[in-house]
Amino acid sequence: MISKQATRPLRVLQLTDPHLMASAEGALLGVNTRDSLDAVIKEVLKSHGQPDLILATGDLAQDGSDEAYRVLGDRLGAFSGDCAWIAGNHDHVERLASAAQTYGAARRHIVQGGWQFILLDSSVPGKVFGELAKSELDFLAEMLEQHPDLPALVTLHHHPVDIGADWMTDIGLRNRADFWQVIDRFPQVKIVLWGHIHQTHEQQRKGVQLLATPSTCIQFTSGSRKFSVEDLAPGYRWFELQASGNFTTEVCRALDFEFDIDQNSSGY
């Protein structure tokens, strides 16, 4: 009797909040954001190898510049897998979209490895908080309706739940009730994933795993009442997804990266 070889899980990398700038010397609270992204990419390749899919979940540029998006696209050339980019509150949506087209990272619905990935734009021009337009909510529902049998990962930039940090309460997703009304209709949703909060966050809601991930640059202090950063290394999230809907995930950090963060800042 010949046994079938087990199918390899789909390997997915989330990188978020790199805050790249036009200048190679561009730094956020004293941390050079290009250098920190380079350190994270190096750590991914050392610890996990090549991903099949890379999700870049917003605040890709601090200054919204064409050069920042070019740098991102070039840096992500270290990976052979497909990429998909979404906007955060610091991004320039049109410039990001143009660069994403250039680098083949503009897809917002991906079916791969027995999963579907739905990428939503929660950015609001000129605002720090997020909101999903009706068109985004309709897109989410339409994609989930089309693939009822595929486990789904839904990603956006802004947090759709409270995370226990008072200063971030008003800068998450504003219309989260509308978002959850859609998600709750579709039991195939396994993961909701976001960036924005520059820290690890994990919780469960109605059988859905809710996950946030450290920034590739500075880290916000978990549970802080006021704006605060902590001396944690930049990081990323890695998934291994089975077509059955089962998955594993872990957060890793570039512990070899040396930096001196300004912990006295009141904002960024």
pLDDT for res 224:
86
pLDDT for res 261:
82
pLDDT for res 7:
82
List the structure tokens of 246.
């089962």
Is the distance from CB of 234 to CB of 215 less than 8 angstroms? yes
C-alpha separations of 141 from 180, 187, 225 in Å = 11, 12, 35
For each of the chain's 268 residues, which pLDDT tens digit applies?
343 445 899 999 999 999 999 999 999 999 999 999 999 999 999 999 999 999 999 999 999 999 999 999 999 999 999 999 999 999 999 999 999 999 999 999 999 999 999 999 999 999 999 999 999 999 999 999 999 999 999 999 999 999 998 899 999 999 999 999 999 999 999 999 999 999 999 999 999 999 999 999 999 988 888 998 899 999 999 999 999 999 999 999 999 999 888 777 666 6
Nearest-angstrom CA–CA distance, 48 and 240: 11
Tens digit of pLDDT for each residue in 60-84? 999 999 999 999 999 999 999 999 9
Core vs surface per residue 99-117: b (16+ CB within 10 A) or e: bbeebebbebebeebbbbb
**Per-state percent for the chain, helix, strand, coil, to nearest 5:** 25, 25, 50
List the structure tokens of 99.
């660069």
Sign of CA dihedral 30, 171, 68, 17: positive
Nearest-angstrom CA–CA distance, 111 and 149: 12
Residues 6+ away with beta carbon under 8 Å from 142: none
Packing angle between helix 66-75 and helix 93-102, nearest 10 degrees? 40
The neighbour count for residue 91, using CB atoms within 10 Å, is 26
Which position has the token pair 């046994």? 3
